[in-house]
Amino acid sequence: MESKLSIAEFRTRLKDNTEIGSPQVHLGQARIFPISGPIKPFYGFFDDRSFSLTINSAKSSAVFLVKGHYENIDNRLLVNCSVEPINKLQHAWVKFGPILLIVAINIFFLFFAKGLRRASTIVNLFLLFMAFYSRWKEDRKRKKLEEKFMRIFEIKT
């Protein structure tokens, strides 16, 4: 991908929009008070060629990470980045946890609660809704982080 910015402007925007720290440490924390002035849109670290950023939010914990590197080739700034989950186990749990719960609840209703067919239908519908909602929400968080990164650093695909 290519950015419209020069390498100096890109580094300045990294500096101005990133609160320095390790994204893995920030994973479970929700910020109430900013550490260094106003809340910056990203949290992570960067150097002269690479970056590792996540969303800096007071409301929710970070789930995804924008990782990549940048270089200046023929007066064009090329940015290679990818959005990936910070914690692979948490990501797998969000994806497959509701499905495992549906199977476990159905086994329970099949063997231990034969008279509760109506309740099993309601519970299954609720769990299916939760399965689809959790996947939709995770995908939305990933897209939101990617769009914010592309907008701030003026990257075109």
Residue 64, domain extent: 2-87
Among 66, 69, 70, smallest CA distance to 52 is for 66
Q: Report the pLDDT value the prediction gives residue 68, as an integer from 0 to 100.
A: 93
Residue 119 and residue 9: Cα distance in Å, rounded?
A: 59
Q: Report the pLDDT value the prediction gives residue 24, as an integer from 0 to 100.
A: 66
Among left, alpha and beta (phi > 0; psi -120 to 50; other), residue 154 is left
In a domain, residue 106? The reply is: no
Answer whether 68's CB lies under 8 Å from 81's CB: yes
In a domain, residue 155? The reply is: no
In a domain, residue 32? The reply is: yes
In a domain, residue 8? The reply is: yes
In a domain, residue 98? The reply is: no
In a domain, residue 38? The reply is: yes
In a domain, residue 148? The reply is: no
Work out how many domains the chain is built from and give that number: 1
> In 10 A of CB 119, how many CB atoms?
12
In a domain, residue 34? The reply is: yes
Q: Report the pLDDT value the prediction gives residue 86, as an integer from 0 to 100.
A: 84
Q: Report the pLDDT value the prediction gives residue 114, as an integer from 0 to 100.
A: 74
Q: Report the pLDDT value the prediction gives residue 66, as an integer from 0 to 100.
A: 92
Residue 68 and residue 53: Cα distance in Å, rounded?
A: 9
Q: Report the pLDDT value the prediction gives residue 95, as an integer from 0 to 100.
A: 81
**What pairing do the DSSP bridges indicate for beta strands 18-20 and 2-3?**
unpaired
Average pLDDT across each block of 10 residues of the chain; the chain has 157 residues. List them in order. 89 90 59 58 89 80 87 90 87 84 86 79 87 89 92 87
Residue 55 and residue 119: Cα distance in Å, rounded?
A: 40
